[in-house]
Every structure is written in structure tokens, then in C-alpha cells.
Amino acid sequence: EDKVVQSPLSLVVHEGDTVTLNCSYEVTNFRSLLWYKQEKKAPTFLFMLTSSGIEKKSGRLSSILDKKELFSILNITATQTGDSAVYLCAYLSGTYKYIFGTGTRLKVLA
């Protein structure tokens, strides 16, 4: 059965810290992996990864995919209180379903 597992489930850090969030997957017919940030309601799109080893960056956030080892990481440097949210990873399967992981709840303290 296809699945996506994220770790840690929750994380508390102080402003300025760097965090690494993990997403491992076991899927058939992988197409892409996506990262989202969910604060209160709608998840907002962060990254889409399809190729191994190519880092994607957006400001203080970056992400990379390892298709051989079946995982992805999301890095956030110099964290701010506004980074507090639930971070979700999802994969797009060969049957065109977006399946989400359990999420990592990040809290950044001032």
C-alpha cells in the first residue's frame, strides 16, 4: 500500500534556528513530490520535486528529493515565528491521486 510518512510529528524551535523536516514514501508509479504549508485553513504550495538531487529554493526554504532512497527533506533556515505551521508533503501517484503525509507541526518561539 502506498504511504507517506513525515517526521518529526512536531517540533518546537527558537527564532533563528534551522530545521529539517523529513518525508519518506513508499509508492508505486511515482510522479512527483510536493510540499505544502498549512497555517489555519488552506495549504499553500511550496515546492514540487520530480528529479533527484536538484535542490529547489525559495528564500529561507529549500527542498531536495532522493528518489533512490525514497525521501525528501524541507529545510528552513533562520526560522521566524511566521514559519509556525503544519508542513505537509504529498506525492502524486501514477493514478493521478495526491496523497498526503501525516504532517509536521512546527512551532517557532520568539
Q: Which residues contribute to the site for other proteins (CB under 8 A)?
A: 31-32, 34, 36, 41-45, 48, 50, 88, 90, 92, 96-103, 105
Classified as helix, coil or strand, 81 is helix
Compute the least distance from the CB of residue 41 to other proteins, in Å: 5
Cβ proximity to other proteins, 50 vs 81, nearer residue: 50
Compute the least distance from the CB of residue 74 to other proteins, in Å: 15
The two counts, helices (H) then strands (E), for the chain are: 0, 11
Cα gap 6→12, rounded to integer Å? 16
Compute the least distance from the CB of residue 69 to other proteins, in Å: 22
Strand 98-100 with 104-109, pairing: unpaired
